[in-house]
Amino acid sequence: MKAPTDAAVELLGLTRRFGGTTAVDAIDLSVEVGVFCGIVGPNGAGKSTILSMIAGLLAPTSGTVSVAGYDTLCEREQALGALGIMMEGLSLPERLTAAELLEYTAGLRGMDARWQERSADLLAILELDRAPNTLIVDYSTGMRKKIGLAVALLHRPRVLVLDEPFEAIDPVSAHSIEELLQQYVTGGGTVLLSSHNMDVIERTCTRVALLARGRILADGTVPEVAAGRTLNEAFVDFVGAAPQRRLDWLA
Amino acid sequence: MSMWRRFVSLKIRILRHGPRDDRAFGLIAGLVVAAAVVMTAVLVSTSRLDDSWLTAAVSVLGLMWLLGPILLPGAVPVLNPQWFRTLPQRPFRIAAMLTPSELLSVGTVITAVALSSFAVVAAGHGVITIIVALGAIVLQLFFLVWLGRSAGALVAYLLRSRLGGWIAAFQMSALLAVSFAGWVPVAAFFLPELGRGRTEVHTGAGWTALPDPLEQALLVAPTGWGMAAIGNAAASASPALVLLPLGGLLLVGLALWAVWVKLTSATLRQPPARANSRTTVRTTRAQLSRRRAGSRRTDPMTAVAARELKTWLRDPQRALELRHAWMTPLLMLLLVVPTAWSWSLPFLGVAAAVFAAMVASNTYALDGTALWQLLTTPGAVRADVRGRQLSWMLMFGFPIMVATMILNLITASSMWYIAMGATLASVGTACACATLLSALMPAIGRDARERISTGQNAGNPAGGQMTAFTLVLFASLLPGILAAVLRIGDLWFIHLGLGLAIGAISIAVAGPLTIVRLTSTGPELLAAMKSA
């Protein structure tokens, strides 16, 4: 078996084209073990495409992805075993309750009896045990994010890949997710997440990669990328603000 | 531009730019049927056929308008009224303004062509009759279109409630049962001794015309009023007898239109907030289940099978199809029991396997983008395929085999071994088809997380269902064919052995094929479902 390297996630020359459009353009990125890394960028920058390729849901046009030292193409099963994934805008087994979904997930992964303790902890800390009779299909956006995170964490993966975990959720739900992720990173886990929410990235991430038009424009610690500004200001400076003009009819 | 013109323009654009394959196929098939009706009219006008046959043909056309929406519950209109819910107009007015666009459809064109048969039969009867026929074409078309539209709106309305769901399921199952087994009582009448191997045919006078009571019944129904008016005009009956059926068509058509407007207004009044699935799991049962599960390690295949069993009962589309799959053979049983062909009851196992394969042939598309979890969990695709097969056997396969054995015992059928061999082969093939066709021919509709009732687009799996129907039926015939070819048809264990082998081989082969298909094209399928 191949020994894990220091990089929890490593992207080398990662490229993805859709017809004539290059969504991800020869990206190199290495995220060390125990790092809380955020990928930020405007809509269409390629964030979700990168995360989909890391999760093995999209094949790269060229380049490689390795997770915990395993190549996601050649050593797919090992790489997937090290990953916990939460994707934005996708269904879960919708006709199960949260407890049933975690039970099913544990069974699907062939987990030992410890799953039940973990499941109870996750349901309690994410306050999903308050709606034990509700099916996933009836969950609010915040509850969906929470159960998605619980599914991703249940097997205690070495790397968490989260697509927009803070999108369209209330501050209380965001706080409980943030707390859980901090615990996970403190325990040696690695988080790679995408987000539009600069405040959350600034508050939680130790490292940030700024993406636009499929390329990384800046990469480093949050203070390095912000360079004395707020991360939001740095983001607008890098990406460029939308044209502004006065609309008389709005006055 | 007025609102109704904008709706008409929008519908024309959608018809022009939207998917056209199904519509083109429907138009061609429908025009063939319409041509047959016109041909009937030509034969009637040249006195080579009694006009009662044309009345029957038009009545069948009317039946199709009624049955279409019932057989395809949840089909969404081209112009979905819910799109216009936020327009600053009263719902009744929006619904009324949608009226002209509802007349634009493939069905209207086909029916208009078929109803031109009225003009054909009237051609030899003078100007008055021709004028009456032209009026009858317009009014009969008006009636039929609103019959179909109001039936569709009513089914959609019923499907929003739990009781309505049961009613709709019963309606469709009854229609399927009559379609598939309605011929049995007729065949049993003509060949009553077939079960004893005797093929003497019960004969009566040949039908050159429909029996008089039947023709009168068809003319009394609104679908026959156009023909009644033409018949009265041709016979130079009093103007009242000519105008009465035409006026009736206009009045009933208007009443049906009013029903459609009322139901469409109700749809427009539905709150924009996302409704609830109205399904809750009992706490005690859920806790017991967790406690039981906690004491042991669940293997992946069992976990999938447990998920599948819950989903079959809780997913609105699957629950509806589950009801069809069981109600239809039970209703077929009721049709066959009173006839002289009760010996054929054990063969209902084959029909049940066919229906069970058809209703389960689109489960991956129904589960939608939840596929991502299988694609990102080591070994999950294999567990999922085997788990789905196991749950299918628990829901359908084993009960069908047990029911066939019981029917064999009750009827003491001399063909018990043929029925059992056919059932074993069809159950195995149906189990294989259900999962394989779900992966090979997914009919993608609204994603699982957005489907909370049966009145929503769940995809149109007609292609997969027809393939399942053909394959399972063919597999059921194989043991009998092979035994006959090998000249060992009388040996009961040969039929059972062949049926078992065909069923087992089907499951064994389909499993790896499905796994390979999902592993190789799963990401593409996921992308298609995400963008649908």
pLDDT at site B311: 96
Number of domains in chain A: 1
Looking at B186-195, B223-232, B420-429, which range is the least confident one?
B186-195
Q: What is the pLDDT of residues A26-59, one digit of tens each?
A: 999 999 999 999 999 888 889 999 999 999 999 9
For range B11-19, the mean pLDDT? 82
Burial class (CB in 10 A: 0-12, 13-18, 19+), B337: exposed
For range B440-468, the mean pLDDT? 83
Average pLDDT, chain A: 90
d(CA B344, CA B419): 8
pLDDT at site B287: 64
Task: Look at B414 and B357; give whichever has higher pLDDT.
Answer: B357
pLDDT at site A1: 43
Distances in Å between the alpha carbon of B258 and those of A115, B230, B262, B269? Answer: 58, 27, 6, 16
Residue A72 lies in a domain: no
Q: What is the pLDDT of residues A161-200, one digit of tens each?
A: 999 998 878 888 888 889 999 999 999 999 999 988 888 8
Residue A195 lies in a domain: yes
Cβ <8 Å between A57 and B372: yes
Residue B159 neighbours by CB under 8 Å, 6+ apart: B73, B74, B165, B168, B320, B453, B454, B455
Q: What is the pLDDT of residues A67-101, one digit of tens each?
A: 999 999 899 999 999 999 999 889 999 999 999 99
Using CB atoms, pick whichever of A83, A93, A133 lies closest to residue B280.
Answer: A133
Interface membership of B381 toward A (CB under 8 Å):
no
Separate counts of helices (H) and strands (E) for chain B: 23, 0
Q: By the 8 A CB rule, do B388 and B363 touch?
A: yes
Rounded to the nearest angstrom, the minimum Cα separation between B300 and chain A is: 4
Q: By the 8 A CB rule, do B37 and B195 touch?
A: no
d(CA B445, CA B450): 10
Residue A1 lies in a domain: no
Interface membership of A110 toward B (CB under 8 Å):
yes
Q: By the 8 A CB rule, do A231 and A200 touch?
A: no
Cβ <8 Å between B293 and A116: yes
pLDDT at site B272: 57
pLDDT at A229 over 60: yes
Interface membership of A89 toward B (CB under 8 Å):
yes
Rounded to the nearest angstrom, the minimum Cα separation between A141 and chain B is: 11
The amino acid at A13 = G
pLDDT at site A44: 86
d(CA B58, CA B44): 13
Residue A70 lies in a domain: no
Residues in chain A with CB shorter than 8 Å from the CB of B297 are 110-113
Q: What is the CATH number of the domain that holds A117?
A: 3.40.50.300
Rounded CA Rg of chain A: 19
CA closest to B306 among chain A residues: A104
- The ipTM assigned to this model is 0.93
pLDDT at site B453: 72
Q: By the 8 A CB rule, do B71 and B175 touch?
A: yes
Confidence of residue A122 (pLDDT cuts 50, 70, 90): very high
Residue A91 lies in a domain: yes
Q: What is the pLDDT of residues B472-525, one digit of tens each?
A: 999 999 999 998 888 887 788 999 999 999 999 999 999 999 999 999 999 999
d(CA B115, CA B120): 9
d(CA A52, CA B527): 11
Cβ <8 Å between A100 and B372: no
> Closest Cα partner for A175 from A183, A138, A135, A48?
A183
Residues in chain B with CB shorter than 8 Å from the CB of A58 are 523, 527
pLDDT at site B60: 86
Q: What is the pLDDT of residues B329-356, one digit of tens each?
A: 999 999 888 888 888 899 999 999 999 9
- Which tokens go with B346? 């054990």
The amino acid at A78 = Q
Residue span of the structural domain in which A166 resides: 34-48+81-240
A62-67/A7-18 β-pairing? antiparallel
> Closest Cα partner for A177 from A210, A152, A158, A202?
A152
